Structure 1
């Protein structure tokens, strides 16, 4: 989180030394990474194995003349509908006129290199400053800026963009970064960096907007070749955004759907029960050993869904997206159509098909993990389970909805493909 402004002299120094590798979108995030850690915020409380709170006003308003008092109260930070909610409130507390929260993984989780991302929805308002960032794990001994800092996402005031920066020590505070492309930050977006031994790249929704060269610690950037921990906070006021005014709406809420870390060669699987939003899967019925399949690889709305021998075709590949309320939709990769309950039916035996993606309850599914590691998919409209008719095992057996009964006909192994 931006601590100080770099002087124009320091900025010129950075330009001359060619820190910048590229300034505008040039590519997509590296698909070769494997998930090594995540918090999906699907529980009922903030996971103390992952996060600790920083509380109080910090030194000089956390070095930025911020105006909030950070607390660990549920009024300021809590789990709500599958999101971490950080809430800034206008209220007197601890001698300050605002409260909010600041969470960090210091002492719990730290990482060097990889793709670090979070899906978030941000508040707008004069004086509001949400951030997703890192600090070097050795900050307690070397201090800042020698610890290094990577600002994955910062947003200020009412702007229609975010910022990515790095801070480090080069005979004093040095920084590099800048603004993203224009978009609406009050909607959910994925903010990420790809951090390697040679560069740090910033992305919004997979589109790159900035890159910094750290190869061989060029320009004294050795701070970015060591472990960093993660932080999430919503500041109020400070040197950069300025103070709130009469137009600022309180409470301001920052919603974090998930935080994930991917690394090359990672071997740790996703946490039990977690589904990677945007990941492509095949769904194998545990009773029959056969895959959820679109009949005849059809691409027309209303094409039937069945089970069929696992053959790796697009008819059996489904991209799973997490909705804002924590439910999911499944999009068939071959047809780009959604897994759908025919006619939005609610009766046992109602047929399951593919249909144009409408975002309605007929296409919305709660996915939960069973004790044996398989999953059940419950349609949110009917409250009934995705089911193989009559527990059939033959190719072409129909898929329907049926009262949740825990049988193998309603259990699916989700196999991540990409």
Structure 2
């Protein structure tokens, strides 16, 4: 399709065959791309976009039509692409579709099966342009016109090249005759190699372009080209001089009000090199009409093997099958025989997990899922502690995106369960813990927009807190969106990016769940603290709920209960005073309440630290014992401000032994002992816990 009009008088060196010959088309035997225009409606947007309007100077050719994307001008109908030019109130509209930016190829055979419009003034074209048109411009990008026809010269089919050495009214062209061009479908094709471009109608060769000297001027055909289909009206070449008025290129038969151009298919073939197999990597149990495709090679035979419970519904023995899946994962195999050689490929297909009930548990970390965990961007140590995953980390460069990847056993369909519930705890001793949770789908796409699951505010009262985030708006095909039906990984970013800080700390993950909706019960209070006076205990807490109706206060004389509700305070209250003598020993916890239910309990606090459970943290890097082993004297370094109330020293049998303890600085304790060699335990009592460190004396 001539994009500009210019008469060239200089001839280029070329080899041209003007006599129709049978094609010797044996090299391009694998169909690598095609559109059969099945279905109804607009052309498939995966493949096609539109040129709209009149372009510059009637698309450079003084054409009279305006291109639209209206269904009256372009549509799929009855398994065909229909481009219809229509005259309304004397003005013509038509359509031009293209694969620019969606599909292109270098070398191969492209063929169109088409029926052309009739009528003087029509100018249909099946052609290609170099993708480099946006950088090099035309004609430097090269143009291959597989088929052009002008209605004023019925049945004369042209194959044409436009290059910097010859363009517009180019000399690189030839033609053949197809008498029933407008009544029957014919196959128009071009075969493109590094040596030549050959043009065919119904596999009859009618033109070969093969310049002796191939350079940028004569051969801009070593780079990808995209496909164009259009129907122009009038213009420099399409206009019929008998009907032109006012010197314009508007010569169209005045009795013509519509012109119909139909394309049955477009196919691209290249030379087979290796067997490929494509299809879904994961499917829903019982999924219907799944498509699996092998390389479509002319002359090959195919044998398919599918898992038990699956059924081939169509295509057995061909390169493409439709399958109704069963309930289990399995392997799809294809064997291809070609010219006495056998090729084979396999595709592992997982079944997706579809949640049931109000909530679905992904992982409870009752055991350490070591094979499901990977990390990068920092130093991460995974261990199992009290039925939770303990993560100890060291980050030196937050910009390296320190992260943990948890890989699900099978893809999870979260489309109906978009809320992720993550139960996590930390003491945030570094005061710099920063966590964010993303989902990754089967293709590797990761959630991420301005709205992400950041654990804010971070609850760092050393008790598990459940954070919720609804990913529903992050399901889709846009930037930062994923396929919510096939979630494969959970990514946890740790102290990352410009807000992250270098350092080390610890956090625990108790479980991941998915829910249908964000819970309506209130979040639990946190950071419960206690201050004592002579005759009372005052409790303070952080209120994390905006939908509570009241807060209940519970008290016991043991951390194991029983707990009794002693008071209820109004919503948003953050303090309560209990008139008791602290030395009598009490343990407290609080809870938020609304009409939908109650939150989990806050952390515990006690008027006597001995009432709380012992937190055995032998590997806590924030409390360091050295030297260890030692000969009896050792130091305890506290790397943060820890309010230590009492220190006790025990042997391996649990008997307390004497030790001389002095505090050298705020964060350094010196311990001197005179005991026999063996394993000993140093208990550091804080207001909320007892931290135990092991010491080996030699």
Indicate yes or no: 2:17 matched with 1:22: yes
- In the superposition, the TM-score normalised over structure 1's length comes to 0.62
SS in 2 for 1:224: coil
SS in 2 for 1:254: strand
Indicate yes or no: 2:45 matched with 1:35: no
Check the 8 A contact 2:63/2:233 in 1, yes or no.
yes
Aligned to 1:119: 113
Q: Tell me the CA shift for residue 222 of structure 1.
A: 3.2
For 1:47-85, what per-residue CA distance to the aligned partner results, in whole angstroms no more than 9, with x for missing partners? 111100111110000000001110011111111010010
Q: Tell me the CA shift for residue 111 of structure 1.
A: 1.0
Distance in 1 of aligned mates of 2:88 and 2:147:
26
- Where does structure 1 lack aligned partners over 5 or more consecutive residues? 287-369, 377-412
Distance in 2 of aligned mates of 1:29 and 1:6:
34
Indicate yes or no: 2:60 matched with 1:53: no
Cα distance change, pair 165–172 in 1 and its aligned pair in 2 (3 A):
closer
Check the 8 A contact 1:37/1:270 in 2, yes or no.
no
Cα distance change, pair 373–218 in 1 and its aligned pair in 2 (3 A):
farther
Aligned to 1:253: 260
Choose 1 or 2 for highest CA Rg: 2
Check the 8 A contact 1:41/1:257 in 2, yes or no.
yes
Check the 8 A contact 1:29/1:203 in 2, yes or no.
no
Distance in 2 of aligned mates of 1:153 and 1:141:
26
For 1:143-188, what per-residue CA distance to the aligned partner results, in whole angstroms no more than 9, with x for missing partners? 1111111100001115112111000112876551021134321110
SS in 2 for 1:79: strand
Indicate yes or no: 2:315 matched with 1:375: yes
Cα distance change, pair 245–217 in 1 and its aligned pair in 2 (3 A):
same
Cα distance change, pair 269–284 in 1 and its aligned pair in 2 (3 A):
closer
Structure 2 counterparts to residues 158-169 of structure 1, below 5 A = 158=152, 159-169=154-164
- In the superposition, the TM-score normalised over structure 2's length comes to 0.38
Indicate yes or no: 2:155 matched with 1:148: no
SS in 2 for 1:165: strand
Distance in 1 of aligned mates of 2:271 and 2:25:
10
Distance in 1 of aligned mates of 2:131 and 2:173:
21
Cα distance change, pair 115–223 in 1 and its aligned pair in 2 (3 A):
same
Aligned to 2:180: 184
- Where does structure 2 lack aligned partners over 5 or more consecutive residues? 240-250, 280-290, 317-333, 340-698
Q: Name whichever structure is richer in strand by fraction.
A: 2
Q: Return the structure number with greater relative CO, CA threshold 8 A, min gap 6.
A: 1
Q: Tell me the CA shift for residue 373 of structure 1.
A: 6.1
Aligned length: 294
Distance in 2 of aligned mates of 1:198 and 1:276:
25
For 1:16-68, what per-residue CA distance to the aligned partner results, in whole angstroms no more than 9, with x for missing partners? x2x12322223315133111100011123311111001111100000000011
Distance in 2 of aligned mates of 1:32 and 1:171:
29
Check the 8 A contact 2:166/2:172 in 1, yes or no.
no
Structure 2 counterparts to residues 4-403 of structure 1, below 5 A = 4-5=4-5, 7=7, 9-10=9-10, 13-14=11-12, 17=13, 19-33=14-28, 34-45=30-41, 46-92=43-89, 97-158=91-152, 159-170=154-165, 175-186=171-182, 187-214=184-211, 217=214, 220-242=217-239, 243-248=251-256, 250-265=257-272, 267=274, 372=312, 374-375=314-315
Check the 8 A contact 2:16/2:209 in 1, yes or no.
yes
